Amino acid sequence: MTPPPDAAWLPTVTRWLGRPVVVSGREILTGGYVADAVTRVDLTGAPSVVVKRASSTEVAAMRALAVVPGVERPRLLAAGPDWLVVPYYDGSPLAEGPDVPHDVWTTLARVHVHWLGKRARGLPVVDAAWWRALCLDRIVPHVHVAGERTGDQVFADAATVLRGWATDARVLAALAVLPATLVHGDPHRGNILLTPSGTVLIDWGNARVAPAWQDLAVLRAQGAVDDSAYRQALVALTGREPRAELVEVERHCADVWANIGYLGFAADHLGAARVAELLNAATLALDALGPALTSALRSDLRR
């Protein structure tokens, strides 16, 4: 893959800047699996930009992000069917640890509130079919390969459990109960860029229409235990406290996703003990999700 030609995007950037610009230099950015298609382009008398090939999902996500009030970074400067141009943000990924910058929580809250109950065009939707495909088509194959490679019974057991979870009534009920919104899909620390002018949540290629807990789950899986800044931002944006019953359902769903979502990676790279640990944690979260759903549904009946 190669970046789009300058003629495809430079006129749009020129109009955005309000003055003619000329390309003065280029540098291929490393660190991603499509790094050869991501280039920093230096412009005369203007800030540098990043020109990259992108999936239709990422292009759609960036267009959806551009209309969210209060979210100005990353800014979409130009886009085509399979490419986009954004400013170059010179920074470093967020280090390991329990703390997540306030800007990340508030950005996610703004996006989640703006798109709540609405479907951003061009993005996949997390529903029963999506969940089934995740378990059976995206995770089970990795578990099978690991089992064939090691002969460890843990992987065979994991495949059996995942086949049952693919149609788990608790997960499907939670997807029906919790409202969907636009989620980043993968806000891990490598996608949280710390720059001198603030924090930027980059790489929206895994965005989807889903309950907000999918973003919270990724942050939680990487050690973020305090999401109070997110909750406070929600109240400030909506003017009301979220329903306690739904917050509880959301919390358990995040725990389910945080463990199941990484099973494929764990099978490939972390070994049987880690897979067993994730399976056990997901089982406990699912067991807690059932009563939380019952409580939420009873609360709905009382309203």
Please state the rounded mean pLDDT for residues 217-224: 85
All residues at 6 or more sequence positions from 160 whose CB lies less than 8 Å from its CB, including other chains:
none
232 has pLDDT over 90: yes
* Same domain flag for 129 and 260: yes
Q: Residue 221, by phi and psi: left (phi above 0), alpha (psi -120 to 50) or beta?
A: alpha
Find the CATH number of the domain harbouring 21. 3.30.200.20
* Same domain flag for 109 and 34: no
Assessment of whether the complete model's pTM goes beyond 0.85:
yes
* Same domain flag for 45 and 120: no
Rounded to whole angstroms, the Cα distance separating 208 from 57 reads 8
* Same domain flag for 150 and 202: yes
Rounded to whole angstroms, the Cα distance separating 204 from 75 reads 12
Rounded to whole angstroms, the Cα distance separating 256 from 253 reads 5
Supply the angle between the helices 272-302 and 153-165 in degrees, to the nearest 10: 20
- The DSSP bridge partners found for residue 125 are 209
Supply the angle between the helices 213-221 and 244-260 in degrees, to the nearest 10: 50
All residues at 6 or more sequence positions from 7 whose CB lies less than 8 Å from its CB, including other chains:
none
Q: Note the pLDDT of residue 18.
A: 85
Residue 200: helix, strand or coil by DSSP?
strand
Q: Note the pLDDT of residue 300.
A: 61
Q: Note the pLDDT of residue 31.
A: 57
Split at pLDDT 50, 70, 90, the class of 112 is: very high
1 has pLDDT over 70: no
Domain assignment of residue 31, yes or no: yes
Q: Note the pLDDT of residue 151.
A: 94
204 has pLDDT over 60: yes
Contact between 21 and 12 under an 8 Å Cβ cutoff? The reply is: no
* Same domain flag for 208 and 295: yes
Domain assignment of residue 277, yes or no: yes
Kindly list the distances between the CA atom of residue 8 and the CA atoms of 45, 84, 88, 109, 195, in Å, as whole numbers in the listed order: 20, 10, 18, 34, 28
* Same domain flag for 62 and 195: no
Q: Note the pLDDT of residue 33.
A: 44
Range of the domain at 253: 102-302
Split at pLDDT 50, 70, 90, the class of 159 is: very high
Domain assignment of residue 203, yes or no: yes
Task: Report how many domains make up the chain.
Answer: 2
259-293 pLDDT, tens digit each: 998 899 999 999 999 999 999 999 999 999 999 99
36 has pLDDT over 80: no
Rounded to whole angstroms, the Cα distance separating 157 from 283 reads 13
All residues at 6 or more sequence positions from 299 whose CB lies less than 8 Å from its CB, including other chains:
243, 245
Q: Note the pLDDT of residue 35.
A: 47
* Same domain flag for 284 and 249: yes
Domain assignment of residue 97, yes or no: no
Query: DSSP alpha helices (H): ranges in 52-138?
Result: 56-65, 102-114, 128-133
303 has pLDDT over 70: no
- State the average pLDDT for the chain: 90
Please state the rounded mean pLDDT for residues 111-124: 94
Considering only residues 66 and 213, tell me which one the structure prediction assigns the higher pLDDT: 66
Contact between 200 and 106 under an 8 Å Cβ cutoff? The reply is: no
Q: Note the pLDDT of residue 34.
A: 45
Rounded to whole angstroms, the Cα distance separating 232 from 71 reads 17
Cα 87 from chain centroid? 21
